[in-house]
Amino acid sequence: MENVIIIGTGCAGWTAAIYTARANLNPLVLAGEQPGGQLTTTTEVENFPGFPEGIQGPELMMNMQKQAEKFGTRVEYDLVSSVKKENEGHFTLETQGGTTHQAKAVIVATGAIPRYLGLENEMSLVGHGVTSCATCDGAFYPDVPVAVIGGGDSACEEADFLTKFASRVYLVHRRDELRASKIMADRVLGNEKIEPVWDSEVKEYLTDDEGEVRAVTLLNNKTNESSELEVKCVFVAIGHDPATGFLDGSGVALDDEKYIIQNGHDTKSNIEGLFSAGDVSDHVYRQAITAAGNGCQAALDAERYLAAL
Ligand code: NAP
């Protein structure tokens, strides 16, 4: 029987692992679909305290993992498919790989998954000119026009990053004002390689003979006019959905958007012994540092829970 199993390896998961490992709880971490979490798909992180020159997202995550492992954290790369609280008080976790784990406490830190537009041929075009990750795919589109969809910090960050490769970056947003923080918005709007396309929605992906994206059909939602924008790749950056599907049937209380509901000022869920941390519970702050802080809180809450058992 494990003391504590931490599900997820983003900022929240690794921070929870560092704290529970240092508390001699010998945590087991089960990695999710995106080991390292969302920061592995980002580039420069400029706002994580302690790195005045910034740090690359993947490097920050590798450092966190090393720090957690240094104190004895064990890691298994297997997706959790279900979590169940047993009458005896412990939890049973099943994985897609067919393993069963038992633990006295669980910290869910599975984060959130990028959203797509929901257009008909969209998912079949992922990897053929549709993606949600500029860091992963930007370099595949040198000297050609590309589009980023969205108006938040993610869209701005991706647009800015893509100017290193693309000949032109269209920032397609459904309104005429960016949601992004002022510093990111100013950076993007001041970059002459980035062209905002306001009040516009992608209605269709158009492909060439090889099945690769060659253009998108846009609808201007103010004028109702349709147009075609020639781009070789579309980077969708319109937010995320929390990774809580595996909790179906677990009894863990989720809100309308499927985020785990935390118990007000701490990280307890409605099920005693199950805690959550980071973006899986947070649709307000969603920062690397807030996720890390929340991971620390969940570790301390779990530690107290285990001490009281
Ligand atoms: P977000 O702030 O929720 O922005 C999503 C954007 O996508 C919005 O502009 C939204 O339009 C648009 N959108 C949503 N659904 C759409 C749809 N179906 N079709 C077209 N457009 C759609 O998400 P985010 O940019 O991923 O950021 C999430 C959080 O992480 C934020 O708190 C952000 O500050 C933070 N973040 C921080 C950094 C950083 O500090 N380095 C980097 C990335 C993200 P509307 O504006 O019209 O709603």
Question: Which domains does the chain show, CATH number per domain?
Answer: 2-114+240-308 (3.50.50.60), 123-236 (3.50.50.60)
| pTM for this prediction | 0.76
> What would the pLDDT profile of 187-208 be if each residue is shown by its tens digit?
999 999 999 999 999 999 999 9
Ligand 1 — pocket residues by CB below 6 A?
47, 117, 149-155, 157, 174-175, 179, 181, 237-239, 286
Question: What CA–CA distance (Å, rounded) separates 63 from 300?
Answer: 21
Residue 133 is among the residues annotated as catalytic for this protein: yes
Q: Which structure tokens are listed for 297?
A: 């809180």
240 CA to middle of ligand 1, Å?
A: 8
Residue 296 is among the residues annotated as catalytic for this protein: no
pLDDT at 265 over 90: no
Distance (Å) of CA 150 to CA 37, 72, 198, 199: 21, 41, 10, 11
| Of 67, 66, 57, the residue nearest 19 (C-alpha) | 67
Q: Of the residues 11, 133, 233, 296, which is catalytic?
A: 133
Other CB atoms within 10 Å distance of the CB of residue 100: 9
288 CA to middle of ligand 1, Å?
A: 15
According to DSSP, residue 231 is labeled -
Residue 279 is among the residues annotated as catalytic for this protein: no
> What would the pLDDT profile of 218-229 be if each residue is shown by its tens digit?
999 999 999 999
Rounded to an integer, the average pLDDT of 172-192 is 97
Cβ pair 44, 59 in contact under 8 A: no
> What would the pLDDT profile of 22-33 be if each residue is shown by its tens digit?
999 999 999 977
Question: What CA–CA distance (Å, rounded) separates 83 from 213?
Answer: 40
With a pLDDT cut of 70, the percent of the chain lying above it is 99
pLDDT value, residue 262: 96
**Structure-token match 């400029």, residue found:** 46
Look at ligand 1, atom 41, and give the residue with the nearest C-alpha.
45
pLDDT value, residue 148: 98
Query: Can you name the residues that pair with 236 across neighbouring β-strands?
Result: 149
154 CA to middle of ligand 1, Å?
A: 6
Cβ pair 14, 278 in contact under 8 A: no
| Closest ligand 1 atom to 150 CA | 7
153 CA to middle of ligand 1, Å?
A: 6
Mutate to test the pocket of ligand 1, among 11, 38, 55, 154 (most ligand atoms within 8 A of CB): 154
3-state secondary structure of 99: coil
